[in-house]
């Protein structure tokens, strides 16, 4: 069912559903993933459940981060988190948390943004600690990402800090 079709005839208590009958919010979203009113023009959503190689994941997520769409990059990382083998999940979960932390910081949620940036930095750092020499999976600069996340968390968590520009603050996944 199309977004317009899902919205048509919606009554109280009616939920958007995907083709398997699972609840899915079909409202359009803005570049930071915030729901817009039905019928509004939003940005294209990332398809869910896409299995990508680690290299494809990093490339696609970086393009979304560069475009100021960290919420959508989070969805790409979340697909990797769900699809990759158990030993890699901590890394991809941490990267998803970094992207959603940037999302919250850009939306003006300083507390949530700082918390998620720190949590994601901890997960990435934890994964990297067990890797020995392999600390650059898919060419990613994990040490640089951890440093970026903690510095941004300190800035957005400071008293009086306002929303950040998601594109201007986007991390470089590869150095």
Q: Is 140 helix (H, G, I), strand (E, B) or coil?
A: strand
Measure the CA–CA gap between 30 and 17, rounded to whole angstroms. Answer: 20
The chain-wide mean pLDDT, for the chain, equals: 86
Question: If you search the block for the tokens 């990297």, which residue do you land on?
Answer: 128
CATH of domain 54-169: 1.10.3450
Q: Is 158 helix (H, G, I), strand (E, B) or coil?
A: coil
Contact assessment for residue 101 and residue 116, using Cβ atoms and an 8 Å cutoff: yes
pLDDT of 175 above 70: yes
Contact assessment for residue 47 and residue 152, using Cβ atoms and an 8 Å cutoff: no
Query: How many CA within 13 A on the CB side of residue 56?
Result: 8
Find the mean pLDDT for residues 156-173.
95
**pLDDT per position as a tens digit, 36-87:** 888 888 888 777 888 899 999 999 999 999 999 999 999 999 999 999 888 8
pLDDT of 6 above 60: no
> Cβ of 155: how many Cβ atoms within 10 Å?
16
Question: Looking at the chain, which residues constitute the CATH 1.10.3450 domain(s)?
Answer: 54-169
């Amino acid at each position: 069912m199309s977004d317009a079709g899902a919205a048509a005839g919606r009554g109280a208590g009616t939920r958007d559903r995907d083709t398997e009958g699972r609840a899915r919010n079909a409202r359009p979203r803005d570049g930071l993933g915030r729901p817009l009113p039905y019928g509004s023009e939003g940005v294209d959503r990332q398809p869910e459940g896409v299995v990508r190689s680690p290299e494809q994941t990093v490339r696609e997520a970086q393009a979304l981060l560069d475009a100021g769409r960290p919420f959508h990059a989070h969805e790409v990382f979340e697909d990797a988190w769900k699809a990759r083998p158990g030993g890699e999940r901590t890394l991809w979960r941490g990267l998803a948390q970094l992207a959603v932390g940037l999302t919250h910081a850009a939306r003006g949620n300083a507390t949530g943004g700082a918390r998620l940036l720190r949590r994601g930095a901890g997960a990435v750092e934890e994964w990297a600690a067990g890797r020995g020499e392999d600390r650059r999976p898919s060419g990613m600069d994990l040490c640089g990402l951890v440093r970026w996340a903690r510095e941004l968390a300190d800035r957005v968590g400071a008293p009086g800090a306002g929303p950040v520009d998601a594109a201007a603050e986007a991390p470089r996944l590869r150095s």
